[in-house]
Copies of this chain bind each other. A is one copy, B any other.
Amino acid sequence: MAPKYLQVAGQIESDIIHHVYQKTNKLLTEDEYAVKYQVSRNTVRKAIDILVNKGYVYQVQGSGVFIRNHHNRGHVNLERLQGVTNDFSDRLVENKLLDFKLIEADEDLAVNMGCKAGTSVYYVKRLRYVDGDPFSIETSYFNKDLVKYLDENIVKKSIYNYLRNDQKLAIGFADRIIGADYLTSEQADLLGLKANDPALVVDNTVCLTNGAIFDYSQSVHHFKHVKLLKVSNMKGS
């Protein structure tokens, strides 16, 4: 059973997506949601906080909660892991499996994954397409002590959906380090670009709720097709 504030957030999010508030461009008041969903006002506020952080709305004290217009322009929202699968749910996301094997972590990888050298890790290399265009090259490592099982069929689809829904993995938090770099000629071939073209590179470190690193990965994105979106809230600084 999902907590109430998530249920309420989901309902309101669905309303926004289906343009229920298009006339006023404004949500209902907190008190109105409290009555509507039979929850306390604090629970409503927690739900709205989630929508604020996802970039759907902004709050103005004394006035209301307003819908943000330029929310979706094909950007990958950094607020969600699993960006491509979520943000492009209305587009065709495909994966081409380039490599898949079980290996032992060397010294460098062990440092990045916070494990001992020699630990068994799944190695997955995929080329991801959106609407038929090459989108990014994703090289991932999964600690086998934590991710007990993977196979080619799973890996061709959404790995995270499997880990969360089937393996019931308690995914907690992630660091992402974002930079730019040259494309190697091999990467350029895969993405349909030229060697030394720019690349948008994201290093991911993903942890379980108990802090253990189960996934370390690097995504090399097509610089023309991929823009990341970060929405920030200045409250709390």
Chain A interface residues (CB < 8 Å from chain B): 6, 9, 50, 52-53, 55, 58, 60-61, 63, 66, 70, 75, 78-81, 171-182, 196-200, 207, 209-211, 221, 223, 226-234, 236-237
Q: Say yes or no: A177 contacts B75, CB within 8 Å.
A: yes
**Beta-carbon contact of A176 and B66 below 8 Å:** no
Contact assessment for A66 and B211 in the assembled complex, using a CB-CB cutoff below 8 Å: yes
Inter-chain CA distance A179–B227, complex, in Å, is: 5
Selected from B60, B197, B211, the residue in CB contact (under 8 A) with A210 is: B60
Q: How far is the CA of A226 from the CA of B196 in the complex (A)?
A: 18
Task: Report chain B residues within 8 Å CB of A55.
Answer: 175
Q: By the criterion CB–CB under 8 Å, are A181 and B223 in contact? A: yes
Tell whether, in the assembled complex, residue B6 and residue A236 are in contact, meaning their CB atoms are under 8 Å apart.
yes
* A232 adjacent to B79 (CB under 8 Å): yes
Partner of A200, one of B175, B178, B237: B178
Check B234–A171 contact: CB distance below 8 A: yes
| Given known contacts A60-B210, A172-B58, A209-B60, A236 and B50 CB-to-CB distance under 8 angstroms | yes
Known: A173-B231, A173-B232. 12 other contacts (CB 8 A): A58-B207, A63-B210, A66-B211, A75-B177, A80-B237, A175-B231, A177-B228, A178-B229, A179-B227, A180-B198, A182-B197, A198-B199
**A136–chain B nearest beta-carbon distance, Å:** 12
- What CA separation (Å) do A59 and B221 show in the bound complex? 31
Query: How far is it, in angstroms, between the C-alpha of A210 and the C-alpha of B181 when the chains are bound?
Result: 38
A221 surroundings in chain B (CB, below 8 A): 180
